Structure 1
Amino acid sequence: MAHNMTSVINDEIKSRNAEISSINKFIHANPELAYEEHKAHDAFVSALQSLGFEVTPHAFGLETAFSAEYGSGGRLVIYNAEYDALPGIGHACGHNLISSSSFAAFLGAVAALKASGQPGRVRLLGTPAEEGGGGKLKLIENGAFRDAAACLMVHPGPGHNLTAPIRGVAFVNMLANVKMRVHFTGRESHAAIAPWEGVNALDAVCLGYTAVSMLRQQIRPYERVHGVFRAAGNRANVTPADCTVEYYCRSATKRGADALWARVEKCFEGSAIATGCEMRVEPLNSYADVRPSRGLCEAYVEAMPAGTVSWNEPADILGGSTDMGDVCYQCPGFHGVFGIGTNEGESNHTKGFAAAAGTEEAYERALECGRGMAVVGWKVLSDDKFAERLRSEWETDMKDAAEGKTASA
């Protein structure tokens, strides 16, 4: 039965190549920023409706989210389709390929479910604003992942970091990221006539920056702190009274990132006291660490062509953070990486990566991953023992996360 369903999945994805390829090319050619992905949203809704699916546009309270679902009863498997781009450099994170792979996986898993006649549900979820907008955080809040047995997606990465025949990595950890904006309020004065009357908010910013720079020596090797000045005064002869910085604190776990931010916050509290400024902290969209499901990763390696997917090497194939981490705290999650044809220096968030993401070779890699995810999704829907294992492992991992332990490969 498993072999037959693999054939059903492969045949369905092959037969729908025109629709999947059209979406891929359209999204890559029409990059849209977070929460502005109206063209991508409409293209997906139209394509899914033309294939006979019931689609909910503007789903779960987000204007550029959508949801398409097939089946009833049983377990629910969700595939995430990301499609937002980056300012100035388009799809330099390859979200067109993420959309394509999830679209393919959805169609394949639906075909298997139809052929089986079994209960179960498959959902393709359009998830806007991953690039800093925290779209999945809002989807979580509005119930998009409620009762999911598993949620899967893959992400493109720099292929030049992989050695053939390896084309992808299954178990991919990504850091938690606590994002904060710090506002300092002082008092304006004429910087030449009466500087003693001013309270300099820029001094508070600079003192805090220096303190954080010193703190970096005392943090763990995998932790990161980085920030920018958002507002630092307007004229040199006016003592700056309103200045703002934005800082990211990354660590291996959500708990660790929170603890790191607490140390960074003290740097800014000290600078506010030293300069006489008032200080206010504005929380931004913070992302949890990605905690991959071992069971889903193992099933994915098994479903992909033999010898093409590494378990977790290189471990740094995709750095940074993503709101998929928060989804991993809602249900068993999978966020594998596949390599595309990049050259040295063309990693994610570069123009070279954007160009590579638009190639036919990259699209074929995305389709291959979609087939693998469809097979894994079908296993979740049809194999009770496997689904029970996923849930049990996830519940144990959530206890580990609460204690600040990293997800172990």
Structure 2
Amino acid sequence: MKSGGQGAGDAAEPAGGVGELKRAAREAIERRRDRLLQVSVYLQRHPETGFREEHGAALVADWFDGMGLPFETGLARTGVKARMKGRGSGPTAAVLGELDALLLPGHPLADPGTGAAHACGHHAQIASMLGAAVGLACVREHLDGDVVFFAVPAEESTELEWRRELVRSGELRHLVGKADLIARGAFDDVDMAMLCHTSGENAPRLSVGDSHNGSVVKRVSFEGRASHAGASPWRGVNALKSATLTLAAIDAQRDTFRDEDAVRVNAVMPYGGSAPTAVPDRAELDIVIRARTVDALRHACDSVDRAVSSGALALGTAARTETTLNYLPHHQDPVLVELCRANAETMFGREAVAQGWHRGASTDMGDLGEVMPVLHPFTSGAVGDAHSRDYRVTDHVAAAVEPAVLLAWCVIDLLASGAGEARRVLASRGPRRPAAEVRSAYEELRAGFDADSAFDGADYGGASPPCSRASADGNGIAGSGPEGVE
């Protein structure tokens, strides 16, 4: 979100131009190959969940300190951010690595005490981010702009109730890491950002241009009245049946969602009563709603809200819904995608680089993509299905070292030779707006989804049940993007 200066530095490019810079960066990364592999393997065996990644953050800080890079720590609790100065003023590109693991106690590499496990490959991202820093350090005097290296916390959506308490206490502003960092202004001095994520089994060598669903989480509680289930069930108000009717109403609407919107609604019932001998007076649902665009996400949320109201109305229970936007839909910058594709084809061959597709999962890179151009390729190197006990990075070269080279090459293309490519990326987004204004619009968009609403089925008087409806109009924030994304 920082506006770059116009002047390039005075240092001449090496004889081989950008190609020579890329060769030098790759050789530097290869010289540190063993240490980078050790980082990926070590973090894989020492997983930490989001906003608790103290050990991983300390490892990153030690690397930055050893490289002589000035850095900040404790950003959104555990984030670590370093800046590498180029030869002159210009745009700033960020290379990111996500610190957190999942909660998956059944995973063979899970921490026996916490149940955390790296079943999504973020440990390899940290190694690739550090590797890119190693490669770019040897060519920094030829870059017309700065590079930020940022280890970011809490991409995964886990331990939500604990995170909600941190939000209520003011320690966090949002449930996921990049959203919290954006709100705090930690990306105000960055113009564009990138990371490389591992994919699952049978994935192509590299996938470029993928998109992801956004998601909203809802915690719904139904309050009824307890009574003896055998002797006087008519005296009770059954909250469990309100919850099960809500689930049925959600299921009844699944075929009303458009295929192109990629809507997913998943729910669990963490509580449905204390004993079968009593009419349950309380029941709870945790619901995740995903969709490809902001408008589709709003529509799906309205459908779920109506289902909640119908469940409460049928039994006469009181329903309270706490709604939080988790991730915005993720769409990558097309100029960055093509730049990455060209570098990937040079590295791996054209046949090894696949066209990206839409994935039903979600990522908080969607939030970052709302305020700046982002790049998010997927690499091979893992077996099993992501977020499962079978998932594991087995080829750390493919998952960590080679992505370090790819990211370093992309930054060189962006910032060498007067940073013309970086300026082209920024120009494609339309007129620039002040960072504070962009951040304010981003917060307004998120706030349009967040709500704490109530519906009393016992007091329904014939009017249409209220359904929360986001107020933001869905227009883009930081310039143009794919139609229907913002």
Please report the TM-score for the alignment, with normalisation by the length of structure 2.
0.75
Contact 1:253–1:404 under 8 Å retained in 2: no
Which residue of the partner structure matches residue 13 of structure 2? none
Equivalenced residues, count: 390
Which residue of the partner structure matches residue 144 of structure 1? 186
**Percentage of pairs with the same residue:** 23
CA shift for structure 1 position 258: 1.9
Contact 1:80–1:153 under 8 Å retained in 2: yes
Once residues 339 and 395 of structure 1 are traced to their aligned partners in structure 2, the CA distance between those partners, rounded to angstroms, is 34
Gaps of 5+ in 1: none
Per-residue CA distance 1:89-124 (angstroms, 9 max, x = gap):
31111111111122222332333223x1x5422111
Please report the TM-score for the alignment, with normalisation by the length of structure 1.
0.89
User: In structure 2, what residue type is equivalent to 1:362?
Assistant: H
Match among 214, 220, 223 for residue 176 of structure 1: 214
Matched, 1:108 2:135: yes
Matched, 1:274 2:314: yes
Matched, 1:153 2:195: yes
CA shift for structure 1 position 79: 1.4
Which residue of the partner structure matches residue 124 of structure 2? 97
Contact 2:41–2:396 under 8 Å retained in 1: no
Match among 390, 393, 397 for residue 428 of structure 2: 393
Match among 336, 346, 353 for residue 377 of structure 2: 336
CA shift for structure 1 position 168: 0.6
Once residues 379 and 481 of structure 2 are traced to their aligned partners in structure 1, the CA distance between those partners, rounded to angstroms, is 30
Per-residue CA distance 1:322-350 (angstroms, 9 max, x = gap):
111111001000111112253xxx22112
**Structure 2 counterparts to residues 10-29 of structure 1, below 5 A:** 10-29=26-45
Label 1:181 to 1:170 Cα distance change in 2 as closer, same or farther (>3 A).
Answer: same
Per-residue CA distance 1:37-92 (angstroms, 9 max, x = gap):
11111111112212222221212xx2221111111642111111112112223111
Which residue of the partner structure matches residue 166 of structure 2? none
**Secondary structure class of the residue paired with 1:377:** helix
Match among 347, 350, 363 for residue 307 of structure 1: 350
Moved more, 329-338 or 296-305: 296-305
Which residue of the partner structure matches residue 79 of structure 1? 95
User: In structure 2, what residue type is equivalent to 1:178?
Assistant: V
Once residues 481 and 131 of structure 2 are traced to their aligned partners in structure 1, the CA distance between those partners, rounded to angstroms, is 35
Contact 1:20–1:100 under 8 Å retained in 2: yes
Contact 1:178–1:258 under 8 Å retained in 2: no
User: In structure 2, what residue type is equivalent to 1:187?
Assistant: R
CA shift for structure 1 position 365: 4.0
Contact 1:226–1:247 under 8 Å retained in 2: yes
Per-residue CA distance 1:347-374 (angstroms, 9 max, x = gap):
21123322xx1x3x23344221221111
Which residue of the partner structure matches residue 113 of structure 2? none
Once residues 360 and 254 of structure 2 are traced to their aligned partners in structure 1, the CA distance between those partners, rounded to angstroms, is 18
Once residues 110 and 243 of structure 1 are traced to their aligned partners in structure 2, the CA distance between those partners, rounded to angstroms, is 56
Once residues 168 and 298 of structure 1 are traced to their aligned partners in structure 2, the CA distance between those partners, rounded to angstroms, is 13
Once residues 482 and 297 of structure 2 are traced to their aligned partners in structure 1, the CA distance between those partners, rounded to angstroms, is 13
Gaps of 5+ in 2: 1-16, 108-116, 158-174, 432-474
Which residue of the partner structure matches residue 274 of structure 2? 234
**Secondary structure class of the residue paired with 1:189:** coil
User: In structure 2, what residue type is equivalent to 1:252?
Assistant: R
**Secondary structure class of the residue paired with 2:237:** coil
Once residues 277 and 110 of structure 1 are traced to their aligned partners in structure 2, the CA distance between those partners, rounded to angstroms, is 62
Contact 1:293–1:393 under 8 Å retained in 2: no
Once residues 151 and 230 of structure 1 are traced to their aligned partners in structure 2, the CA distance between those partners, rounded to angstroms, is 37
CA shift for structure 1 position 389: 2.6
**Secondary structure class of the residue paired with 2:188:** coil
Query: How big is the alpha-carbon RMSD for the aligned residues of Structure 1 and Structure 2?
Result: 2.3
Which residue of the partner structure matches residue 207 of structure 1? 245
**Secondary structure class of the residue paired with 1:84:** coil
